[in-house]
């Protein structure tokens, strides 16, 4: 149940409520399996190499010059204290323990300073551009002072997608939680609305005029490298390079913004080819197994970000849960590398996989 309002609805009309709840869950599952189908259906098979000494596997890599233990990083996910009381604190500690990067959401329920206080770690900050550019500038500079190492600029949300579950539930933050990065700016609270409190918040605060010029503007207010998050086409990848982006995150916002966008794994190779190695390309979304990590790297990704697995494990077991999911993916990825004959990330190549695009299609007979 999402709220006391939903409980009352259930008591009044359990049949219709149950139907709506099941319909909502079915739609979620369909979307989930569409993404899974992309990971499963896109790849016909692996092409492992044999009789290679894989007694030692090196998964370390560098991202924007920072060394991490594995190419598996934590994506920005908002409002984590809705999943667990420790929220972003727990995620930050787990990522640091795993030797990898955590990306903090602008809409976190813990501030950049609070997350920095959890101890040393490599952290990126995800940024939405607000209509009030002074707010943006303050936020970026606070992230810099707190020791964050890069800005991940989300570019696929000039407006919020139609999230029907949020509308039905009139989603808003519980009264005991705020968007901590905006406390004191009258932007930390999310008011109730007739439909979705989040949609109303975005409509009122997020700048719909966001353009490539703003990527260049950000470079005038910070020395931090800027990753452009939300690229799905080769055309936009080339423009991102021209605009001075330090890297690209191929992302479809968890497929919650626009129906019929491709799964990120399907869009990845086009973006990689467009960049021609000039800047790193990362994959965000859909990764559920270590084999998925291997597929992404074989298609040219420099690393991957996970979101939902982190939030699910956070809700289940807090920091311990996040540590477990990162360790599980690490172990599965290491095993996949070994069984594919790869001793380091640089040995993973396009030759290790075949996709549906590689399979010759029979010509039609007249």
Which residues are 58's β-sheet partners? 344
Is 45 assigned a ligand-binding role in the annotation?
no
What secondary structure letter does DSSP report for 118?
Answer: T
Is 256 assigned a ligand-binding role in the annotation?
yes
Cα separations (Å) of 284 from 18, 73, 171, 254, 281? 33, 9, 25, 8, 10
Per the rule left: phi > 0, alpha: psi between -120 and 50, beta: everything else, 321 is alpha
Catalytic residue check, 253: yes
Q: Are 164 and 241 in contact (CB under 8 A)?
A: no
Is 31 assigned a ligand-binding role in the annotation?
no
Backbone angles phi, psi at 350, to 5 degrees: -60, -25
Is 296 assigned a ligand-binding role in the annotation?
no
Is 285 assigned a ligand-binding role in the annotation?
yes
| 107's tokens | 């809409």
Q: Strands 61-63 and 66-68: what pairing?
A: antiparallel
Query: How many angstroms separate the CA atoms of 205 and 225, rounded?
Result: 24
Is 307 assigned a ligand-binding role in the annotation?
yes
Is 142 assigned a ligand-binding role in the annotation?
no
Nearest one of 327, 3, 361, 52 to 175, comparing CA atoms: 3
Is 131 assigned a ligand-binding role in the annotation?
no
Is 313 assigned a ligand-binding role in the annotation?
no
What Rg do the C-alpha atoms of the chain give, in angstroms? Answer: 21
Query: How many angstroms separate the CA atoms of 311 and 321, rounded?
Result: 9
Is 284 assigned a ligand-binding role in the annotation?
yes
Is 154 assigned a ligand-binding role in the annotation?
yes
Is 350 assigned a ligand-binding role in the annotation?
no
Is 77 assigned a ligand-binding role in the annotation?
yes
Is 78 assigned a ligand-binding role in the annotation?
yes
Q: Are 350 and 298 in contact (CB under 8 A)?
A: yes
Is 130 assigned a ligand-binding role in the annotation?
no
Q: Are 256 and 163 in contact (CB under 8 A)?
A: yes
Active-site residue, selected from the candidate residues 9, 35, 253, 330: 253
Annotated binding-site residues for FMN read 76-78, 105, 126, 154, 229, 251, 284-288, 307-308
Residues with catalytic roles: 253
Binding-site residues for glyoxylate, in ranges, read 128, 163, 253, 256
The binding site consists of: 76-78, 105, 126, 128, 154, 163, 229, 251, 253, 256, 284-288, 307-308
């Amino acid at each position: 149940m999402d709220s006391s309002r939903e409980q009352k609805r259930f008591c009044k009309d359990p049949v219709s409520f149950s139907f709506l709840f099941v319909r909502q869950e079915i739609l979620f599952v369909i979307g989930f399996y569409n993404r899974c189908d992309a990971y499963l259906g896109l790849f016909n098979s692996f092409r492992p190499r044999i009789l290679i000494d894989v007694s030692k596997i090196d998964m370390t890599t560098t991202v924007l010059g920072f060394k991490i233990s594995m190419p598996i990083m934590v994506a920005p996910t908002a409002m984590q204290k809705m999943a667990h009381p420790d929220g972003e604190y727990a995620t930050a500690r787990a990522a640091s323990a795993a030797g990898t990067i955590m990306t903090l959401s602008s809409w976190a329920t813990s501030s950049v300073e609070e997350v920095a206080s959890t101890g040393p770690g490599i952290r990126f900050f995800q940024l939405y551009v607000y209509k009030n550019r002074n707010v943006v500038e303050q936020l970026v500079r606070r992230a810099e002072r707190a020791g964050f190492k890069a800005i991940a600029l989300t570019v696929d949300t000039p407006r919020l997608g139609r999230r029907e579950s949020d509308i039905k539930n009139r989603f808003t933050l519980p009264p005991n939680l705020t968007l901590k990065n905006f406390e004191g700016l009258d932007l930390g609270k999310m008011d109730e609305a007739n439909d979705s409190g989040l949609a109303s918040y975005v409509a009122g605060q997020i700048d719909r005029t966001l353009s490539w010029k703003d990527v260049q503007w950000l470079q005038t207010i910070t020395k931090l490298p800027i990753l452009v998050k939300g690229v799905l086409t080769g055309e936009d990848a080339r423009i991102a390079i021209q605009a001075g982006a330090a890297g690209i995150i191929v992302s479809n916002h968890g497929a919650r913004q626009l129906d019929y966008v491709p799964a990120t794994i399907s869009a990845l190779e086009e973006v990689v080819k467009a960049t021609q190695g000039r800047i790193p390309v990362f994959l965000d979304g859909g990764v559920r197994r270590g084999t998925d990590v291997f597929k992404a790297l074989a298609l040219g990704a420099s690393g991957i970000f996970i979101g939902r697995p982190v939030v699910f494990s956070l809700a289940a077991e807090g920091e311990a849960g996040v540590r477990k999911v990162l360790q599980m993916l690490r172990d599965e990825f290491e095993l996949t590398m070994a069984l594919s004959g790869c001793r380091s990330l640089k040995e993973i190549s396009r030759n290790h996989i075949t996709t549906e695009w590689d399979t010759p299609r029979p010509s039609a007979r007249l």
